[in-house]
A and B are shown apart, each in its own frame.
Chain A
């Protein structure tokens, strides 16, 4: 069947990685928009969280979709990683990379696995966190902790590295490569992750530095 053939082909798998990656990226955008309310005040953030959770069905459907996206993206990524490793990785006595900035592309599976670990810690810390405590309080308590906050900041740096290859790579996989847009794409692939790093990474910094003491 055409669908099986598509999914089992090398390009098909790449396109699934790209599509799930794009959807996760869009989720990150909505998450960032929600979290930006933290910078306003605890009341604004709390009312946003309350409003969101007053629609349990939407939250459930949304969470389920994102869960599936994560499973497919991470599962297929690990599968591709193992499949590609069957080709002797250190096949040459001398390994020279000609492409100058290959840190992000070389570390995609590892940065991806670290993000998976972060997501697990994050979900168990907040989504399934202490009940009967307002979420704004949990955020403040958790992220004020030095090691917890540091772990978050490191995670966001790794996420930015992952995205700096992922964003461009996704568009290339979708077939978007044209001299007219390549410069823009090459810039966006650094600007967008940097934006997320500032927005998300600023939150633990906000609490750790004491600036959010009156939150």
Chain B
């Protein structure tokens, strides 16, 4: 096990109303087998012992499936490694002497609560406006009563892999939430259970997305590149189709 020394520049901000700034910290002897969040834990222990305010950051499962953690490391959401969340990023990706600039996921729709912790409830409100099925499902249905081709089930599963971390919004130069919204719409519109509310859902979720202050998609593809669950922009194409058809035929 080897260890590295790092210079950290971390965004410190008391709350949404105060002005933030980057503060510099030096960390020595960080084990390369540590995860990124464990490295922040070490920093916080040190800060606590010094009687300083520890760095606030969101985290929960620490195994890359909950979508709670996330920060922008050197300009890349979830850090330099592909298809992982911040908690799954390990310090072996860095070298001794590196400077890491750690900033919160920024968007007009994500107010900063404290330091690296942002309020992503705008994404929840998109879900609340239509990201569900409201049919009475009754008892457990018979295994093959609803035939679904395996290819369709796979596409729906690929979309359902979205953990709603918000990295797509953070990385988008326009701050658009199209990848998130398209994944949520796709997982439901592909399956038979999602059909009754299909058009209403597309209209409502896009309307909420616009209202929450997310930007317009201009096909930069940055979202797809940083997504820890490698959600494809093919979902965005599907959302565009869904929205067009719903606009023309519904409401």
Contacts and interface: CB of A to CB of B under 8 A. Distances in A.
Interface of A: 2, 5-6, 9-15, 80, 83-84, 86-89, 91-99, 102, 105-106, 108, 165, 168-169, 172-179
B194 interface: no
Contact of A9 (B74, B215, B234, B243): B243
A93 B9 contact: yes
A11 B243 contact: yes
A98 B218 contact: no
A86 B220 contact: no
Interface string B210-248: 100011111111100110000001101111110110011
Contact of B106 (A80, A92, A172, A177): A92
Given A87-B107, A96-B76, A99-B220, A177 B215 contact: no
Contacts of B75: 92, 94-96
Interface in B177-232: 203, 206-207, 209-210, 214-222, 225-226
B103 A176 contact: no
Nearest to A17: B218
A136 B215 CA distance: 47
Contacts of B214: 10
Interface residues of B, number: 46
B141 interface: no
Contacts, number: 122
Interface stretch (B39-47, B54-62, B88-96, B168-176): B168-176
Contacts of B219: 105, 165, 168-169, 172-173
A104 B174 CA distance: 16
A18 to B, nearest CB: 9
B65 interface: no
B251 interface: yes
A162 to B, nearest CB: 13
A176 B237 contact: yes
Nearest to A182: B234
